[in-house]
Amino acid sequence: MGHRALIAYERPDSLYNIHYTHWGGLHLRVKVQITKETPFGGEEASKNAQRLFAALIESYDDETVSRLVENSGVAPTDIDHDPLTLAISLEAVLTEYLDYLHHEAFYIVDSDFEVTAYRTHWFWLQYDCQRISGEPTVGNGALRTVRWYNGEPVGDGYAQGEFRALKRVAGDLCDRELFSPGSTGVSFRDAFSVGR
């Protein structure tokens, strides 16, 4: 178990390096940990981490990245120093890397270290409905922005609960055959009025 998330760091070429964090989805905590001084999170500023980050956003090949990470001397943090992939578009991240079921959060870090946190929402109902079987989880969902106040997410738990409840209702309606998983044009209002 973990609270997995992906982090997209903007590069000078307007592409992104993607890093993984096993616990970064928990309370969206890495949003406030990522700074210029602590590019991979952590408690204290590290010149080694800053140098490694600067080298990684300029790198294009895995061999160079492996050597840089291995020789960096950077202490472990919540965010893996070794990127999952280099120089990729945001569209490719969202459709080829982001697992909307297993990644709880997604972060975008721009070149000025402004961090935007998103919650992931997987649309499929295989765990909420007996009539639906497995569907792809990568590239199959939506992102929701999170409001912040005084360094804390506002209403995040409520919005997550609301989404889970809507999925349970939709799954129940599919199991009752009020609409099929492949149907279009059936609104929740129409589904609730059937049989009244």
pLDDT digits (tens, 9 = 90+) for 122-141: 876 676 666 667 778 888 88
Residues 6+ apart with CB under 8 A from 68: 52, 55, 56, 59
**CA-wise closest residue to 117 among 82, 56, 159:** 159
Q: Which amino acid is at 110?
A: D
Block residue for tokens 């990522």: 34
pLDDT of residue 185: 45
Residues 6+ apart with CB under 8 A from 56: 9, 17, 65, 68, 69, 81, 83, 86
Token pair of 40 as six digits: 């991979």
Summarize pLDDT for 86-114 with one digit per residue, the tens: 999 999 999 999 998 899 999 999 999 99
Residue with more model confidence, 109 or 170:
109
DSSP 130: T
Count of all residues that appear for the chain in the document: 196
pLDDT of residue 83: 97
**10-14, 94-98, 186-190, range with the lowest pLDDT:** 186-190
- pTM of the predicted model, to two decimals? 0.81
* CA–CA distance, 189 with 194 (Å, rounded to integer): 9
